[in-house]
Amino acid sequence: MTAFFPFRRLGRFGRLQLLRLVAQTPAPIGRLMPRRFWTPPPGGIDFGDFGRTEPISVDFGFDRGLPIDRYFIERFLERNSSTVRGRVLEIGDNEYTVRFGGTQVEKSDVLHVDATHPVATIVGDISVPGTLPDRAFDCIILTQTLHLIFDMRGALAELARALKPGGTLLVTVPGISPVDRGAWRHTWYWSLTENALERLLASVLAKEDTEVETFGNVFAATCFLQGLSLHEVSPAKLDVLDKSFPVIVAAAAKRPLE
């Protein structure tokens, strides 16, 4: 083993020297190299359309197409579509219930805080105990809602109580995200990490029955902050996962059978 040590050192130093040489490569050639080998030198960044202090869209990208965060949310729901069955509760409307549950859904409920909402079947605030019926739902879909509730743990406790034994809570929350400029601006309290959502759910449901995941990378986060939509970017780039840049944090959490 000792005899090979100089060669290992030479290889390591050789790689370092190669990286230094590559870093000095002129931009026209460097941009053709794999990104892990070459980055623009300091002062050499071309900001292009991103070189502005206002985002390209101030509406998360809805005005340009499907927002990038929705792409991640819908991938998560599609993978967990087998749990969208029986009696299902969704917040605001039942679009995802119908889309991902289909004929598996026997009864669709919609929760809203506004009693005049046309499709609401349950009216109330999920952070208030007793808002939901006990052990009533086979699945609860809670997308991009938890961060609008200051007492997140209280809301999750209410949702957990409302699940049937064996029922599933499908929840998504923002990680790296703009803050809404419109109706939700004054109740936008949180952005969460994977660790935060995992601990919150573990306080009300068994950790072993919960799967938490993240979606995003620096490219996805940058494009989402600028308000680009799905059709403007490469889905292959969005699908690369870098947990240091969570755009969406999602979890499928089951209430244990009793």
Q: Which of 148, 146, 166 is nearest to 157 (CA)?
A: 146
Question: Are residue 71 and residue 8 in the same domain, yes or no?
Answer: no
Q: Is residue 156 part of a domain?
A: yes
Say what the pLDDT of residue 102 is. Answer: 97
Q: Which of 254, 248, 246 is nearest to 211 (CA)?
A: 254
Question: Are residue 213 and residue 165 in the same domain, yes or no?
Answer: yes
Say what the pLDDT of residue 20 is. Answer: 62
In tens, the pLDDT along 137-146 reads: 999 999 999 9
Task: Tell me the pLDDT band of 35, cut-offs 50, 70 and 90.
Answer: low
**% pLDDT > 90, the chain:** 79
In tens, the pLDDT along 173-217 reads: 999 999 999 989 999 999 999 999 999 999 999 999 999 999 999
In this prediction the pTM is: 0.86
Question: Are residue 67 and residue 94 in the same domain, yes or no?
Answer: yes
Question: Are residue 229 and residue 110 in the same domain, yes or no?
Answer: yes
Q: Is residue 65 part of a domain?
A: yes
Q: Are 89 and 142 in contact (CB under 8 A)?
A: no
Question: Are residue 16 and residue 104 in the same domain, yes or no?
Answer: no
Question: Are residue 71 and residue 165 in the same domain, yes or no?
Answer: yes
Question: Are residue 219 and residue 147 in the same domain, yes or no?
Answer: yes
Question: Are residue 36 and residue 63 in the same domain, yes or no?
Answer: no
Q: Is residue 227 part of a domain?
A: yes
Q: Are 180 and 188 in contact (CB under 8 A)?
A: yes
Q: Is the pLDDT of residue 45 over 90?
A: no
Q: Is residue 154 part of a domain?
A: yes
Q: Is residue 124 part of a domain?
A: yes
Q: Are 220 and 247 in contact (CB under 8 A)?
A: yes
Question: Are residue 31 and residue 113 in the same domain, yes or no?
Answer: no
Q: Is the pLDDT of residue 49 over 60?
A: yes
Number of domains in the chain: 2
Average of per-residue pLDDT across 40-52: 83
Q: What is the CATH number of the domain that holds 234?
A: 3.40.50.150
Q: Is residue 49 part of a domain?
A: no
For residue 107, what are the domain limits? 56-254
Q: Is the pLDDT of residue 10 over 60?
A: no
**Could you give phi then psi for residue 123, rounded to 5 degrees?**
-115, 130
Question: Are residue 70 and residue 37 in the same domain, yes or no?
Answer: no
**Could you give phi then psi for residue 106, rounded to 5 degrees?**
-95, -35
Query: 17: exposed, middle or buried (C-beta count within 10 Å: 0-12, 13-18, 19+)?
Result: exposed
